[in-house]
């Protein structure tokens, strides 16, 4: 299909998309099923993605990154997720939840120390907001950071941390002033080797099984005050600002899964015969193909729109929460729709582990849950439209 008329791609966009596609199909697609089955973290291919610059695509070159725009990021991430969404979420968290926050709110020293190793692919970053009793209601966290001279002492338990078991550095959100609620939260950059920080058991998940997820347990974990990101009490704003970028990434992940499911379905519908004709000639299948394609193209435009809004916001300082939430909501529901349709089109084969359709189906579900459930996206969109925030 021709490129979007509304968002024409420049040569750099096409180059990064084609590089990512080539790498993903050669290096990731052949191992995706094996790592999904074992649940092992694919460190070798993640390191190779780092060497190609995919872990810091938008990080300025002066901090070791590729210095590209958000459209490039969306294009590359979609291609990686088309091959394997588990590799994709590691890339998404590194670029958006981790690097973007430090680049936006950090000091030069923090960028040098905490962004460079991630952007050059030598280390892995993670973001830790959720707690066992506060997921969607993120500001209701209970973990505490108490100032002690030149240090903060961190105590508490964080959950559902993507790359928790393997990350070298974390952006962690903790309460510094319980009475102030959202305005009492602060953000900290924590080296994974800091005494007092332990990683909980690795979660066993329905999908994106090769990405490693765990709890983090903080017991009198002393972090230098110089590692506070932003001002004391600014943490919730940082967490939300960063999630706006993260949601574009998860939208791209969802688009990649949807495209993979769709492309396999088109091939199958053209080849498979039943009742003396190709199954694609039955309207029951043909209309499914039409609905998948329509939703995929709508998701793509919404994502490109959110990517452009984010890049424009660099100058204007305006929030792009609405565009990011709309894109994430629509793309994640499209991923679920397409993966469901693809399994149905393939029948028994779709249900079998011989083909990747059932993996797409399991992987798609998380895009409706993490970095804000579909219900939270609807809340963000409706509040914005009704002028409630």
List the catalytic residues: 371
Which lies closer to ligand CAA via its Cβ, residue 94 or residue 299? Answer: 94
User: Any bridge partners for residue 274, and if so which?
Assistant: 277
Q: Decide: 190 and 170 in contact? Cβ < 8 Å.
A: yes
Work out the angle at residue 91's Cα, subtended by the Cα atoms of residues 104 and 121, and round it to the nearest 5 degrees.
85
Give CA torsion, residues 312, 313, 317, 321, to 10 deg.
150
Kindly indicate which of the ranges 201-209, 215-223, 237-245, 283-291 contains the residues binding ligand CAA, using the contact rule CB under 6 A: 237-245
Any idea how long the chain is? 389
Binds ligand CAA (CB under 6 A): choice among 68, 71, 80, 93: 93
Name the residue among 134, 115, 145, 127 with its Cα closest to residue 55.
Answer: 115
Residues in 319-358 at the binding interface with ligand CAA, rule: CB under 6 A: 319, 321
Kindly indicate which of the ranges 22-30, 68-76, 234-242, 258-266 contains the residues binding ligand CAA, using the contact rule CB under 6 A: 234-242
Name the residue among 274, 322, 265 with its Cα closest to residue 295.
Answer: 265
Q: Closest separation between CB of residue 371 and ligand CAA, Å?
A: 5
Would you call 241 helix, strand, or coil by DSSP?
helix
Binds ligand CAA (CB under 6 A): choice among 70, 214, 241, 334: 241
Which lies closer to ligand CAA via its Cβ, residue 32 or residue 239? Answer: 239
Work out the angle at residue 107's Cα, subtended by the Cα atoms of residues 306 and 53, and round it to the nearest 5 degrees.
55
Binds ligand CAA (CB under 6 A): choice among 223, 243, 252, 292: 243
Q: Closest separation between CB of residue 134 and ligand CAA, Å?
A: 9
Which lies closer to ligand CAA via its Cβ, residue 255 or residue 324? Answer: 324
Residues in 188-227 at the binding interface with ligand CAA, rule: CB under 6 A: none
Helices (H), the chain: 11-23, 29-38, 43-51, 70-83, 85-92, 101-105, 108-110, 116-119, 235-271, 283-316, 321-346, 348-351, 357-366, 374-385
Tell me: does residue 130 bind ligand CAA (CB under 6 A): yes
Q: How far out from the chain centre does Cα 138 lie?
A: 18
Q: How far out from the chain centre does Cα 129 lie?
A: 14
Which lies closer to ligand CAA via its Cβ, residue 74 or residue 161? Answer: 161
Q: Closest separation between CB of residue 201 and ligand CAA, Å?
A: 16
Name the residue among 241, 233, 238, 130 with its Cα closest to residue 183.
Answer: 233
Tell me: does residue 289 bind ligand CAA (CB under 6 A): no
Tokens of 317: 């300082």
- Token look-up 């961190």 returns 154
Query: For the chain, how long is the longest CA-to-CA vector?
Result: 79
Binds ligand CAA (CB under 6 A): choice among 160, 304, 330, 337: 160
355-384 footprint of ligand CAA as x/- string (CB under 6 A): ---------------xxx---x--xx----
Kindly indicate which of the ranges 80-88, 129-137, 202-210, 285-293 contains the residues binding ligand CAA, using the contact rule CB under 6 A: 129-137
Which lies closer to ligand CAA via its Cβ, residue 107 or residue 136? Answer: 136
Binds ligand CAA (CB under 6 A): choice among 75, 161, 338, 341: 161
Q: How far out from the chain centre does Cα 201 lie?
A: 21
| Helical pair 321-346 and 283-316, crossing angle rounded to 10 deg | 160
Which lies closer to ligand CAA via its Cβ, residue 91 or residue 357? Answer: 91
Task: Number of residues interacting with ligand CAA: please give it, by CB under 6 A.
Answer: 26
Tell me: does residue 45 bind ligand CAA (CB under 6 A): no
Give CA–CA dist 188/152, Å, rounded: 9
Which lies closer to ligand CAA via its Cβ, residue 211 or residue 265? Answer: 211
Q: Which residues bind ligand CAA (CB under 6 A)?
A: 93, 127, 129-130, 136, 138-139, 160-162, 182, 236-237, 240-241, 243-244, 319, 321, 370-372, 376, 379-380, 389
């Amino acid at each position: 299909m021709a490129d979007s008329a509304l968002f024409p791609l420049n040569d750099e966009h096409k180059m990064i998309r084609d590089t990512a596609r080539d790498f993903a199909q050669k290096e990731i697609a052949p191992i995706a099923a094996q790592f999904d089955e074992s649940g092992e973290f694919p460190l070798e291919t993640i390191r190779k993605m780092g060497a190609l610059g995919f872990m810091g695509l938008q990080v300025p070159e002066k901090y070791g990154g590729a210095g590209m725009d958000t459209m490039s990021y969306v294009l590359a991430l979609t291609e990686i997720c088309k091959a394997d969404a588990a590799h994709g979420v590691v890339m998404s968290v590194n670029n958006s939840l981790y690097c973007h926050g430090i680049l936006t709110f950090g000091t030069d020293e923090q960028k040098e120390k905490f962004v460079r190793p991630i952007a050059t692919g030598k280390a892995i970053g993670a973001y830790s907001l959720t707690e066992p009793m506060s997921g969607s209601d993120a500001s209701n966290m209970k973990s505490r950071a108490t100032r002690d001279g030149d240090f903060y002492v961190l105590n508490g338990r964080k959950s559902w941390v993507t790359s928790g078991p393997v990350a070298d550095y974390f952006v962690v959100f903790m309460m510094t002033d319980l009475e102030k609620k959202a305005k009492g939260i602060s953000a900290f950059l924590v080296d994974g080797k800091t005494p007092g920080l332990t990683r909980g058991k690795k979660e066993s998940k329905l999908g994106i099984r090769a990405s490693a997820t765990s709890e983090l347990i903080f017991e009198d974990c002393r972090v230098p005050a110089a590692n506070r990101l932003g001002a004391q009490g600014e943490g919730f704003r940082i967490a939300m600002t960063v999630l706006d970028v993260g949601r574009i990434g998860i939208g791209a992940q969802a688009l990649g899964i949807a495209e993979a499911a769709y492309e396999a379905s088109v091939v199958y519908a053209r080849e498979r015969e039943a009742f003396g004709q190709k199954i694609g000639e039955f309207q029951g299948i043909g209309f499914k193909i039409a609905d998948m394609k329509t939703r995929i193209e709508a998701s793509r435009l919404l994502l490109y729109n959110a990517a452009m809004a984010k890049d424009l916001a660099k100058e204007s300082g305006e929030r792009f929460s609405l565009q990011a939430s709309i894109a994430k909501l629509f793309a994640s529901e499209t991923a679920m729709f397409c993966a469901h349709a693809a399994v149905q089109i393939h029948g028994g084969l779709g249900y079998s582990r011989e083909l990747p359709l059932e993996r797409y189906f399991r992987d798609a579900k998380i895009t409706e849950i993490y970095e804000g459930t579909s219900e939270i996206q609807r809340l963000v969109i409706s509040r914005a439209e009704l002028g409630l925030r």
